[in-house]
Amino acid sequence: MKKLTTLKIKSHKLQREKHSLQMLTCYDFQTAQMLEQTGIDMLLVGDSLGNVMLGYETTVPVSLDEMKIFSAAVKRGAPNKFIVADLPFGSYSTLEQGIESATKLFQYSNVESIKLEGAFPYQLELIERLTQIGIPVMGHIGLTPQSVHELGGYYVHGKDDASAKKLLEQAINLEKAGAFAVVLECVKSEIATAITEKLSIPTIGIGAGNKTDGQVLVINDLLKEGPHTPPKFCTPIANLFDLKKDLITNYLNKNQEVAKANVQPSVH
């Protein structure tokens, strides 16, 4: 499959293209090598690596250096895929810091674009500035995990008129600022659909219904690579945690059997 470009993604709308953009998270070289051989459209090196790879309780502790290392590893494993890397918490608290952080991540990892959360005025200005200097930006609104403490937890956004209106305004502003796509996380499906119909750039949903222009999931949830139950909006297609545990248990048991068989009886 031919590698997608920013312009191609930017013009992709479900109603016109008749197929949904497919995106999965990826955090390591070997998984990237595997995904390189599939028809996946985009890979996201999300700061969710803090949860699933580094064991942090939230994404807040993830550093820019960690994002640089993981993003570069994924790019080496999937050089022909369109890869998006998250700007982590605290790396774009000001306009100047955001430009510096995005430039370092983009330049070091060689990914195709970066993603940042929120649509406050300074974030919109940051997106505008980054696109002007040649760094494509994907927006992200709704549930923004980096702001989970300020938001008061994990919940569906857009349930009331005021929240729905705010989300629509944020999405429109992100497009005006130059974002080539917008992630809608845990947004009420009707609102996600309305936003999708309003924007000329694609929406990428996660827990936002099936009417967005694309979908993204955490690959570790999709394959159930951890011991905990994935979010309700993700139905695992496998249970690799139990499968790998069983394989290792069988391997250890066989090794014990071989070791016992090789023990010579004592001669008295």
Report the catalytic residues: 185
Could you give the angle at which helices 95-109 and 121-132 cross, rounded to 10 degrees?
A: 40
Do 45 and 25 meet the contact criterion of CB atoms below 8 Å apart?
Answer: yes
Of 195, 190, 189, residue with least CA distance to 139? 195
249 contacts: CB under 8 Å, gap ≥ 6:
none
Q: Which two tokens stand for residue 54?
A: 């580094």
Query: Cα 77–82–88 angle (5° rounding)?
Result: 85
Do 203 and 185 meet the contact criterion of CB atoms below 8 Å apart?
Answer: no
Q: Which residue has the tokens 């993603």?
A: 115
